[in-house]
């Protein structure tokens, strides 16, 4: 890429020339190539230490006589630089050669390159060339995928074992990475943001601690502060991503909003600028209580004229798309929020004395003037305001017809249900009103009022009832949301009313009378109805929160003073802005703030802290303080005053009051011996808090009079402000929240893991410690994978937009379905999908050495009995445990099973075989041919019929109609199915997806092992993950529907099995199948297409095997494999299970796998065993290919329980007849097939018959193999999973292997 020409004095140090021309040299940096000479090592060290970040290639322009050279182009790859070189060759060489003067040549070149540079840079992302080089180096060094975006890099020293290492600290969206290269010694470190447990900074050193107790410290000479903030911010984003359920965006964050309007150019990388802007915007939004969509556009220094004090106050003007704000330099002196849409005019004022003052006057639609002076860049400001005003979008309030006339918006309930106040209280209210009126006269009213300390003083005294609605709306910021979304509330109410049988609605209904029962308004239908509508509407608006107890209590108070719609918007602003994450699952936000409170107690009330910590009181009592803003613990009249302050101050007031409450009871608390006592102390104190402004007549409130009154709420608030108001700042709270967000999330993980370990402690393979390690590694692997996928999504949705999407982009990866039951979805966090399983399998187990067959994939399919695409933790430990254990017999059996069709299908064997006729000694040959086989799972899975294979269209139709048939039978119309999918918000309902989903649902009706396409789609590619997730979800729904309702499931199952086999069938039979499919008999038609008898027998048998039960005592049983193949406690019918015989090809692969797992050349004994087995197989041919055993098998099957299908009492007779029907068809098929066997076989025809008939049973196999000492020994050695896991973690940290 072309760069701004730079003068060079030492053109060739560190560089090797690769190409010459008269005026140009193409150079390559030493130390970037393969050569490991001392020179390149030195250059590498130099680059690493001095952070010169040169691109590996460059083009230098020079003239023979001049000392000076110019760097004109750099390249990250050879191709890139070669392109530039070619361009020079084509366009410049000739022209330059014709020039006479060397100066002219240089000038011309530089001019040309400059123009190229500016031209190219216009359509680029705006990153500097340096940064691009840095990014590419980062990706290369740490093997990061394209999606991982670098934010910035810093020169840093990493101290390890007291040895400092100078290098580069890279900060990308998901990782902190460090690279240093000192004289041949390379150090790489990768730390994910999500795994950071502690971040701190001391002067220039940043300390990081991860969840697995690794500590790092990096010393940065420059920009330590910036790096630290960046790490904090990105960590916060990473943790928030964990809290967020990405499936349901709370608020529609339009990515285009992030397109900044600013035009300032800066040298900083785009992403860094964006992150900084985001940080600033957040502060800005929190301070002025603006909607989440507001992005700060810029700030300009100016003075504001405050008419009440008749003077100018210095501060900054802040601009965002919809708001014009001002904030004074002196804290809380004055601030102003003016919505852009209310700006009527902006005038420059240049008359008289103010001529040089750079004044402007803004007049709002209410004719209120705001005067600003000493504006640093007045012209810029005005043009920006003009620009913003022109873009402003005023939502039109739609006067729409009401669809539902059964409700009307309730006005503030206090008007309907008037409390009888004493004359004194009324006078008190009136006095307050007078003071507020006076305040309005001086400071203005409405959104655009001057917000000063005077207003705080008024609020602390309590807002008069009549004004509460107005003031609450303004200070909570709810008014902005309301104005931007006219009509939304009505829509939500009406939509919510149509939802039936919703769990959240049941919960809401139960709590309606338990919200504010002491108030008459909530003993009437009016109040209850309004509360129901508000809560239901909110549950619909924000499904992630839904309904959480405590929301009912706060909403009912809102409803007393506000109109229904306003109450709704206040609730929204409470849940989304003021108390972030409070009402989500596990009330995580409130738990985080409990942690913050705990730390605040430690700093401010140190003597009490230890004592309280011992009692554990804070954790017990404070959750309701946070969730209900004290409304559930003190009388609601008293809590009103705290609420008044809350809207102005935010969560800060809760902390202040909480600290004050604890402080007030200090002595009593110190005397408490146990948690109960402490609870009582605080409870009594809180119940005694009263509000003289609302002292209701004693007649209605006997109970309260009995109690001792402890303190007025006014004193409480006042004291809280005096004692803690100064020290507690929003910023401090945010910092502490960041810290405790990490700790709380970490604690959740720890608790979860403990519980899961407890649940699985009885497993036969791993002990407590090993289970913990396994859970850790699963969590880590899943996080890594997830963040990557999330980013890929973001990339797709954003294309070229440089801004990254925050946590709430509408196009998110749908949350993984929850296939595993278990308490509170606790276990679901540890379900693994195929990718994770495969990584774990290949990294942790000894069977990774097997490359010719992807055993991991087979094992996954075998273990994932229900075809969900996920393994729960129990399944996982059984699968991995067996492989790592020393149970040689079971392991061999497992290996045998894994090489059976359909796990190892014929198609796969074909693929993995050399495409030439095989000789007798083919197995030997195959060993040598290992390099031919790839271990890429995706490829072998593609060999299976994938849904996109066009030749399967016919079958698709058959299956779809079969599904519909199923649904009809089950009394579920196709519509239901569509309904289900419609409920998934992100589902792209193109016909393709839905038909896939439908098809999959049939597959899973009862056929776990035969279910190829599902597995295939679920794991086929990374790119299609989004759809896959939905498919899986749908598939499950479909599956459950059909399972419970269908009776003759077994023969349907058999029919379903066939499509995968069809893959091996010729094209002709596929067409036949298509024709037959149209003929609509789904049961038998597919069977007819099967040309290979032994395959179906294998298949059916394998299906049986899947239902096998572990209690069988027969040596042919799977023994402890039962864990894998079925739940150990399931069924006790004691039926004999049959493992089908292995055919030759499969056996040969199996043998190869064994050799590979052993990792050695086969010795004499093994060779003998192999020959023996081949011989045994041959002798087996003489027996009749057992149709007999096949029937037996199924007869056995028809009688016994089939837990996988449905446990539905099928009529045995019907089933029997249907199976018989199947056999008859098969028999005919067989005869036909044998007739044209020679034609249908693909391989060398002569060997087909024998190789088809060749088979070996598991007993024969095991018996023979067990005679081979080396194999037995090899399989008997158990693997220490902990060591493996530690190694894997180390490898990840040091970037020796990545999972991307």
Partner 1 sequence: MATRKKSLLKVIILGDSSVGKTSLMNQYVNKRFSNQYKATIGADFCTKEVVVNDRVVTMQIWDTAGQERFQSLGVAFYRGADCCVLVYDVTAPNSFKNLDSWRDEFLIQASPRDPEHFPFVVLGNKVDLDNRQVSTRRAQQWCQSKNDIPYYETSAKEGINVEMAFQTIAKNALEQEAEAEVINDFPDQIILNSQNNRPGNPDNCQC
How far apart are the C-alpha atoms of 748 and 821, rounded to whole Å?
A: 19
How far apart are CB 517 and partner 1 at their closest, in Å?
4
Token pair listed for 94: 């000739």
How far apart are the C-alpha atoms of 1125 and 1133, rounded to whole Å?
A: 15
Residues in contact with partner 1, shown as a per-residue x/- string from 704 to 743 under the rule CB under 8 A: ----------------------------------------
Considering CB under 8 A, how many residues would be counted as binding partner 1?
41
Residue 758 lies near partner 1 (rule: CB under 8 A): yes
Nearer to partner 1, 679 or 1225 (CB): 679
Nearer to partner 1, 752 or 1002 (CB): 752
Nearer to partner 1, 460 or 771 (CB): 771
How far apart are the C-alpha atoms of 2 and 72, rounded to whole Å?
A: 6
Residue 517 lies near partner 1 (rule: CB under 8 A): yes
**Strand order, beta sheet including 311-320:** 343-349, 359-364, 369-373, 298-306, 311-320, 323-328, 334-339, 451-452
* 281 Cβ contact partners less than 8 Å away, ≥ 6 residues apart: 294, 295, 296, 320
> Using CB under 8 A, which residues numbered 547 to 586 contact partner 1?
548-550, 552-553, 584-586
Nearer to partner 1, 331 or 514 (CB): 514
How far apart are CB 865 and partner 1 at their closest, in Å?
24
CA dihedral 1204, 1208, 1214, 1220 (to 10 degrees): 10
Nearer to partner 1, 587 or 859 (CB): 587
* 561 Cβ contact partners less than 8 Å away, ≥ 6 residues apart: 412, 414, 465, 468, 469, 472
Which of the ranges 142-150, 542-550, 831-839, 944-952 carries the binding residues for partner 1, by CB under 8 A?
Answer: 542-550
- Could you say which of 146, 366, 431, 518 contacts partner 1 (CB under 8 A)? 518
One DSSP character per residue, 301-360 reads EEEEEETTTTEEEEEEEEEETTEEEEEESSTTTEEEEEEGGGEEEEEEE-SGGGGGS-EE
- Could you say which of 127, 247, 507, 526 contacts partner 1 (CB under 8 A)? 507
How far apart are CB 514 and partner 1 at their closest, in Å?
4
How far apart are the C-alpha atoms of 68 and 572, rounded to whole Å?
A: 66
From residue 1162, how far is each of 890, 1153, 1159 by CA, in Å? 22, 12, 9
Nearer to partner 1, 582 or 847 (CB): 582
- Could you say which of 415, 524, 710, 755 contacts partner 1 (CB under 8 A)? 755
How far apart are the C-alpha atoms of 806 and 234, rounded to whole Å?
A: 11
Query: Residue 1035 in contact with residue 1069, Cβ under 8 Å?
Result: no
Which of the ranges 416-424, 514-522, 792-800, 847-855 carries the binding residues for partner 1, by CB under 8 A?
Answer: 514-522
How far apart are CB 598 and partner 1 at their closest, in Å?
12
- Could you say which of 511, 564, 1106, 1252 contacts partner 1 (CB under 8 A)? 511
Nearer to partner 1, 755 or 1270 (CB): 755
From residue 827, how far is each of 584, 727, 819, 1204 by CA, in Å? 19, 42, 10, 22
Which of the ranges 412-420, 543-551, 1212-1220, 1257-1265 carries the binding residues for partner 1, by CB under 8 A?
Answer: 543-551
Token pair listed for 1030: 């939905």
> Using CB under 8 A, which residues numbered 820 to 879 contact partner 1?
823-824
Query: Residue 221 in contact with residue 205, Cβ under 8 Å?
Result: no
CA quadruple 887, 889, 894, 899: dihedral positive or negative? positive
From residue 412, how far is each of 126, 648, 1029 by CA, in Å? 53, 21, 45
> Using CB under 8 A, which residues numbered 649 to 708 contact partner 1?
674, 676, 679-680, 683
How far apart are CB 651 and partner 1 at their closest, in Å?
17
Which of the ranges 470-478, 513-521, 1039-1047, 1225-1233 carries the binding residues for partner 1, by CB under 8 A?
Answer: 513-521
Residue 751 lies near partner 1 (rule: CB under 8 A): yes
How far apart are the C-alpha atoms of 215 and 1286, rounded to whole Å?
A: 16
Q: Three-class SS string for 765-824?
A: CCCHHHHHHHHHHHHHHHHHHHHHHHHHHHHHHHCCCCCCCCCCCCCCCCCCCCCCCCHH
Nearer to partner 1, 815 or 1247 (CB): 815
From residue 29, how far is each of 4, 11, 55, 59, 86 by CA, in Å? 19, 11, 8, 11, 20
Which of the ranges 127-135, 723-731, 755-763, 1039-1047 carries the binding residues for partner 1, by CB under 8 A?
Answer: 755-763
Length of the chain: 1300
How far apart are CB 42 and partner 1 at their closest, in Å?
57
Residue 591 lies near partner 1 (rule: CB under 8 A): yes
Query: Residue 865 in contact with residue 1204, Cβ under 8 Å?
Result: yes
How far apart are CB 493 and partner 1 at their closest, in Å?
22
> Using CB under 8 A, which residues numbered 800 to 829 contact partner 1?
823-824
Query: Residue 170 in contact with residue 138, Cβ under 8 Å?
Result: yes
How far apart are CB 606 and partner 1 at their closest, in Å?
22
How far apart are CB 741 and partner 1 at their closest, in Å?
16
One DSSP character per residue, 229-277 reads HHHHHHHHHHHHHHHS-TTS-SS---GGGGS-------SS-HHHHHHHH
- Could you say which of 513, 520, 802, 810 contacts partner 1 (CB under 8 A)? 513
CA quadruple 500, 503, 506, 512: dihedral positive or negative? negative
- Could you say which of 748, 841, 847, 1046 contacts partner 1 (CB under 8 A)? 748
**Peptide bond connecting 83 to the previous residue in cis, omega within 30 degrees of 0:** no
Residue 546 neighbours by CB distance under 10 Å: 21
Residue 1185 lies near partner 1 (rule: CB under 8 A): no
Task: Report CA Rg, the chain.
Answer: 37
Distance from the Cα of residue 373 to its chain's centroid: 48
Residue 749 lies near partner 1 (rule: CB under 8 A): no
Nearer to partner 1, 583 or 896 (CB): 583
* 122 Cβ contact partners less than 8 Å away, ≥ 6 residues apart: none
Closest to 1031 measured CA to CA, from 1071, 988, 1061, 1085: 988
How far apart are CB 523 and partner 1 at their closest, in Å?
9
Residues in contact with partner 1, shown as a per-residue x/- string from 28 to 67 under the rule CB under 8 A: ----------------------------------------
> Using CB under 8 A, which residues numbered 609 to 628 contact partner 1?
616, 619-624, 627-628
- Could you say which of 81, 337, 578, 587 contacts partner 1 (CB under 8 A)? 587
Residue 607: how many CA atoms within 13 Å on its side-chain side? 7
Nearer to partner 1, 538 or 1003 (CB): 538
Nearer to partner 1, 624 or 1162 (CB): 624
Nearer to partner 1, 628 or 1016 (CB): 628
Query: Residue 1095 in contact with residue 1185, Cβ under 8 Å?
Result: no
Nearer to partner 1, 33 or 676 (CB): 676
Which of the ranges 111-119, 544-552, 1042-1050, 1193-1201 carries the binding residues for partner 1, by CB under 8 A?
Answer: 544-552
Residue 771 lies near partner 1 (rule: CB under 8 A): no
How far apart are CB 506 and partner 1 at their closest, in Å?
9
> Using CB under 8 A, which residues numbered 232 to 271 contact partner 1?
none
Residue 783: how many CA atoms within 13 Å on its side-chain side? 23
Nearer to partner 1, 548 or 1063 (CB): 548
Residues found near partner 1 in the complex (CB under 8 A) = 507, 510-511, 513-518, 548-550, 552-553, 584-587, 591, 616, 619-624, 627-628, 632, 674, 676, 679-680, 683, 748, 751, 755, 758-759, 823-824
């Amino acid at each position: 890429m072309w760069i701004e020409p730079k003068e060079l004095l030492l053109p060739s140090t560190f560089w090797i020339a690769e190409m010459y021309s008269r005026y140009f040299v193409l150079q390559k940096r030493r130390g970037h190539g393969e050569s490991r000479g001392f020179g390149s090592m030195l250059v590498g060290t130099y680059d690493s230490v001095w952070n010169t970040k040169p691109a590996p290639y460059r083009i230098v322009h020079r003239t023979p006589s001049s000392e000076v050279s110019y760097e004109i182009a750099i390249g990250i790859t050879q191709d890139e630089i070669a392109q530039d070189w070619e361009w020079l060759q084509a366009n410049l060489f000739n022209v330059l050669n014709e020039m006479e003067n060397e100066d002219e040549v240089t000038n011309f070149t530089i001019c040309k390159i400059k123009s190229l540079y500016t031209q190219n840079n216009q359509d680029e992302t705006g990153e500097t060339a340096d940064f691009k080089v840095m990014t590419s180096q980062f990706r290369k060094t740490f093997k990061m995928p394209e999606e991982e975006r670098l934010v910035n890099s810093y020169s840093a020293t990493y101290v390890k074992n007291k040895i400092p290492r100078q290098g580069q600290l890279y900060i990308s969206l998901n990782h902190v990475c460090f690279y240093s290269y000192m004289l041949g010694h390379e150090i790489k470190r990768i730390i994910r943001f999500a795994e950071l447990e502690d971040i701190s900074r001391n002067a220039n050193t940043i300390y990081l601690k991860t969840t697995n107790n690794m500590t790092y410290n990096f010393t940065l000479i420059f920009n330590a502060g910036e790096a630290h903030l960046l790490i904090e911010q990105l960590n916060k984003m990473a943790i928030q991503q964990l809290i967020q359920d990405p499936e349901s965006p709370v608020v529609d964050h339009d990515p285009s909003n992030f397109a900044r309007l600013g035009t300032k150019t800066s040298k900083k990388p785009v992403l860094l600028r964006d992150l900084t802007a985001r940080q600033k915007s957040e502060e800005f939004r929190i301070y002025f209580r603006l909607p989440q969509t507001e992005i700060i556009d810029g700030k300009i220094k100016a003075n504001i004229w405050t008419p009440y004090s008749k003077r100018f106050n210095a501060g900054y003007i802040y601009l965002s798309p919809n708001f014009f704000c001002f904030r004074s330099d002196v804290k809380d002196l004055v601030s102003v929020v003016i919505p852009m849409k209310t700006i009527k005019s902006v005038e420059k004022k240049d008359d008289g004395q103010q001529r040089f003052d750079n004044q402007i006057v803004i007049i709002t639609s209410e004719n209120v003037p705001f005067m600003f002076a000493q504006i640093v860049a007045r012209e810029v400001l005005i043009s920006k305001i003009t620009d913003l005003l022109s873009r402003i979008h005023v939502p039109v309030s739609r006067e729409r017809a009401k669809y539902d006339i059964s409700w009307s918006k309730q006005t503030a309930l206090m008007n309907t249900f008037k409390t009888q106040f004493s004359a004194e209280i009324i006078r008190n209210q009136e006095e307050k009103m007078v003071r507020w009126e006076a305040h309005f006269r001086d400071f203005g009213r409405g959104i655009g009022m001057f917000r000063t300390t005077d207003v705080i003083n008024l609020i602390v005294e309590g807002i008069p009832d009549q004004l509460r609605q107005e003031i609450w709306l303004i200070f909570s910021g709810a008014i902005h949301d309301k104005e931007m979304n006219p009509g939304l509330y009505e829509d939500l109410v009406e939509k919510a009313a149509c939802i039936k049988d919703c769990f959240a609605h049941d919960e809401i209904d139960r709590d309606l009378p338990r919200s504010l029962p002491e108030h008459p308004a909530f003993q009437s239908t009016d109040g209850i109805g309004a509360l129901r509508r508000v809560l239901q509407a909110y549950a619909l608006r924000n499904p992630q929160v839904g309904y959480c107890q405590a929301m009912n209590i706060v909403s009912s108070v809102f409803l007393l003073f506000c109109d229904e719609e306003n109450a709704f918007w206040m609730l929204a602003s409470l849940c989304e802005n003021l108390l972030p994450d409070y009402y989500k699952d596990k009330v995580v936000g409130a738990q985080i703030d409990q942690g913050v409170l705990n730390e605040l107690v430690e700093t401010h009330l140190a003597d009490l802290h230890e004592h309280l910590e011992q009692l554990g009181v804070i954790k017990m009592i404070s959750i309701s303080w946070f969730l209900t803003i004290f409304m559930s613990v003190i009388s609601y009249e008293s809590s009103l005053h705290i609420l008044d302050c809350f809207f102005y101050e935010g969560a800060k007031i809760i902390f202040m009051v909480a600290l004050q409450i604890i402080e007030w009871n200090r002595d009593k608390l110190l005397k408490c011996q146990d948690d109960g006592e402490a609870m009582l102390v605080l409870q009594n104190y809180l119940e005694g808090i009263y509000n003289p402004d609302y002292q209701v007549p004693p007649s209605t409130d006997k109970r309260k009079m009995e109690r001792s009154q402890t303190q007025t709420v006014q004193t409480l608030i006042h004291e809280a402000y005096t004692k803690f108001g100064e020290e507690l700042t929003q910023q401090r709270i945010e910092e502490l929240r960041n810290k405790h967000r990490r700790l709380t999330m970490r604690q959740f993980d720890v608790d979860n893991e403990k519980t899961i370990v407890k649940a699985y402690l009885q497993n036969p393979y791993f002990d407590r410690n090993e289970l913990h390690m396994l859970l850790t590694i699963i969590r880590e692997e899943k996080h890594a994978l997830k963040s990557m996928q999330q980013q890929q999504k973001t990339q797709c949705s954003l294309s070229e937009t440089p801004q990254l999407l925050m946590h709430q982009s509408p196009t998110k990866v749908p949350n993984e379905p929850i296939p595993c039951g278990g308490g509170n979805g606790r276990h679901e966090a540890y379900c693994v999908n195929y990718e994770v399983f495969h990584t774990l399998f290949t990294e942790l187990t000894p069977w990774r050495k097997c490359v010719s067959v992807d055993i991991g994939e087979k094992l996954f399919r075998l273990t994932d009995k229900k075809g969900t695409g996920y393994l729960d933790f129990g399944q996982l430990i059984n699968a991995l445990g067996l492989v790592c254990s020393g149970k040689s017999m079971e392991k061999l059996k497992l290996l045998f099973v894994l090489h059976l069709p359909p796990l190892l299908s014929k198609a796969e064997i074909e693929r993995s075989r050399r495409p030439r006729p095989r000789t007798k000694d083919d197995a030997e040959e195959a060993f040598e041919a290992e390099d031919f086989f790839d271990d890429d799972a995706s490829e072998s899975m593609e060999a299976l019929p994938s849904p996109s294979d066009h030749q399967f269209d016919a079958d698709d139709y058959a299956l779809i109609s079969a599904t519909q048939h199923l649904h009809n039978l089950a009394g579920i119309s196709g519509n239901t199915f569509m309904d289900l999918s419609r409920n998934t918000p992100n589902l792209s309902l193109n016909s393709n997806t839905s038909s896939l989903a439908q098809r999959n649902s049939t597959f899973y009706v009862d056929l776990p092992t035969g279910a190829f396409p599902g597995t295939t789609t679920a794991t086929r590619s990374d790119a299609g993950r989004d759809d896959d997730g939905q498919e899986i979800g749908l598939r499950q729904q479909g599956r459950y529907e059909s399972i419970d309702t269908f009776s003759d499931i077994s023969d349907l199952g058999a029919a379903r099995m066939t499509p995968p086999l069809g893959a091996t069938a010729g094209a002709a039979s596929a067409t036949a199948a298509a024709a037959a499919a149209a003929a609509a008999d789904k049961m038998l038609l597919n069977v007819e297409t099967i040309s290979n008898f032994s395959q179906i027998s294998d298949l059916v048998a394998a299906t049986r095997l899947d239902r096998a039960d572990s209690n069988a005592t027969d040596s042919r049983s799977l023994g402890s494999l039962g864990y894998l193949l079925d739940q150990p406690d399931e069924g006790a019918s004691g039926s004999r299970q049959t493992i089908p015989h292995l055919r030759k090809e499969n056996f040969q692969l199996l043998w190869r796998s064994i050799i590979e797992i052993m990792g050695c050349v086969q010795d004499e004994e093994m060779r003998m065993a192999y020959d023996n087995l081949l011989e045994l197989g041959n002798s087996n041919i003489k027996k009749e290919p057992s149709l007999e055993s096949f029937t037996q098998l199924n007869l056995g099957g028809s009688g016994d329980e089939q837990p996988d299908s449905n446990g539905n009492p099928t009529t045995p007779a019907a089933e029997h007849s249907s199976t018989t029907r199947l056999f008859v068809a098969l028999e005919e098929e067989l005869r036909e097939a044998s007739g044209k066997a020679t034609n249908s076989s693909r391989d060398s025809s002569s060997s087909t018959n024998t190789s088809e008939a060749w088979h070996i049973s598991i007993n024969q196999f095991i018996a023979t193999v067990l005679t081979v000492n080396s194999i037995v020994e090899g399989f008997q050695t158990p693997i220490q999973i902990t060591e493996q896991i530690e190694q894997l973690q180390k490898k990840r940290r040091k970037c020796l292997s990545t999972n991307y």
